[in-house]
Amino acid sequence: MEYIPVLVLVLSFVALLAIGTPVAWSIAISSVLTMLVSIPALPAFTTVSQRMGTGLDSFALLAIPFFVLSGQLMNKGGIAHRLIAFAKTLVGSLPGGLALINVIGAMLMGAIAGSAMASASAMGSILGPEMEKEGYSKEFGAAVNITSSTTGLIIPPSNVLIVYSLASGGVSIAALFLAGYIPGILTGLLLMIVASFWAKKKNYKRGERSSLRQVFKTFIDAVPSLFLLVVVIGGIVTGIFTATEASAIAVLYTMVLGFIYKEITFKNLPEILLESSITTAIVMLLIGASMTMSWVMSYENIPQDISSALLGVSDNPIIILLIINLLLLFVGIFMDMTPAVLIFTPIFLPVVTKLGMDPVQFGIIMVLNLCIGLCTPPVGSVLFVGVGVAKTTIQKVIKPLIPLFLAMIFALFLVTFFPELTLWLPRLFDL
């Protein structure tokens, strides 16, 4: 009898997704159906609606609309052009120089904007035509753009890490932000190595070597944008302000910067605010529905049952971690990142903590897993943005994507089995 709620939850959710129901509604409806197995209709509907409301009642979640807005302001405010110019002077003359520029630009843009889709859109529209002009294949450029755009979800500030903090019961956001730096940079470096080898194999054209004067000039131009990272992360780590307060400061800073660069005007603001509101509404609906499903699963003891089943498979931590990674990679293929974090953190976190893993390390592992899912069909949002911007098809992009996928999976392996890659910086700051 205890398996009936699990079957109802899984089968109804999969069936709703299969017929094209939006993810948030699929989560909410399957949660209601699961509750109806255990309690009468009126309490079931009341409980689910109440849980959707209380799931959003969190001070930490206020950071998300602010970071979304600051990302939109950066995307429209000319920051991407300056970051690309700086990256070009650093690596433009190396094999696959334009691909390497894309990776570095995406790491910087994603870290500042905190949005993989904003990064994919900005980098693809600016660098894509230039890469084609220099003889790079459209598909290779799209593959590099798609995979590198996800690094900004690991390198802070990251909305997904804030969501993980909420789902995990209060893991320090400052510790998670610091923990993301080395894995994010490591992933970017591995993508650069693969892209460079691919470009060398295809004999793509190199750029001209930049002088120290050009490097210095582009760096100075990019400093105001890069300084935002110092303000936001420095303020959070030193305790000057919380992540939510930092997000509001990021909005103010990027708005002023956009006006200084003369890329944003008062005429642009309504459109920027509207786009940010739409994105925020989508994210918040997903969070509310996902928090409901997490509660329903807890009510039905599903996380405890899965935890016991996993620990019953083997007492070898390596085997358990490999199974969890494979499950998360599979989940990432079919589910968007935010609901996946909220739903599966309560399931897997107790398992890994019993194995002795730090919750901070597991947060980075989970996000890195789901970043790979953003690049895979059928629901890979970054994949669709990257392919759309490049004006190509998913089928053509798959071949150059595969070696870049392998680079991301290797980074995931290193982060899983070498905890110091994640925990060194938080411990350095006693977080």
Both 380 and 405 in one domain: the answer is: yes
The percentage of residues in the chain with a pLDDT greater than 90, rounded to a whole number, is: 14
Supply the DSSP string of 115-133, one letter for each residue.
Answer: -HHHHHHHHHHHHHHHHHH
Task: Kindly tell me the sign of the dihedral angle through the C-alpha atoms of 209, 215, 217, 223.
Answer: positive
State the average pLDDT over residues 36-58: 84
State the average pLDDT over residues 371-376: 85
Both 104 and 38 in one domain: the answer is: no
Q: Say if 176 falls within a structural domain.
A: yes
Q: Say if 47 falls within a structural domain.
A: yes
Q: Show which of 36, 55, 74 is a domain's final residue.
A: 55
Q: No. of H helices and E strands in the chain?
A: 21, 0
CB atoms < 10 A from the CB of 273, how many?
13
Both 12 and 158 in one domain: the answer is: no
Task: Write out the H or E segment, with its range, that includes residue 311.
Answer: helix 302-313
Both 126 and 162 in one domain: the answer is: yes
pLDDT in tens, 387-399: 888 888 888 888 8
Go through 71-83 and write b for each residue having 16 or more CB atoms within 10 A of its CB, e for each that does not.
bbbbbbbbbbbbb
In which domain, by residue range, is 317 found?
59-282+302-428
> What mean pLDDT value characterizes the chain?
84
Both 215 and 112 in one domain: the answer is: yes
Please tell me the distance from the alpha carbon of residue 220 to that of residue 174, in angstroms, as a whole number. Answer: 28
Please tell me the distance from the alpha carbon of residue 108 to that of residue 114, in angstroms, as a whole number. Answer: 10
Q: 1 pLDDT exceeds 60? A: no
Q: Show which of 31, 55, 79 is a domain's final residue.
A: 55
Q: Say if 290 falls within a structural domain.
A: no
Q: Say if 297 falls within a structural domain.
A: no
Tokens coding 249: 């400061």
Both 253 and 402 in one domain: the answer is: yes
Q: Show which of 38, 55, 72 is a domain's final residue.
A: 55
Q: Say if 295 falls within a structural domain.
A: no
The closest of 54, 27, 33, 57 to 45, measured between CA atoms, is: 33
Query: How many structural domains are present in the chain?
Result: 2
Supply the DSSP string of 60-97, one letter for each residue.
Answer: GGGHHHHHHHHHHHHHHTTHHHHHHHHHHHHHTTSTTH
> Which residue is it, tokens 């004999």?
203
Q: 123 pLDDT exceeds 60? A: yes
Both 185 and 270 in one domain: the answer is: yes
Both 341 and 402 in one domain: the answer is: yes
> Which residue is it, tokens 């609606």?
49
Both 158 and 33 in one domain: the answer is: no
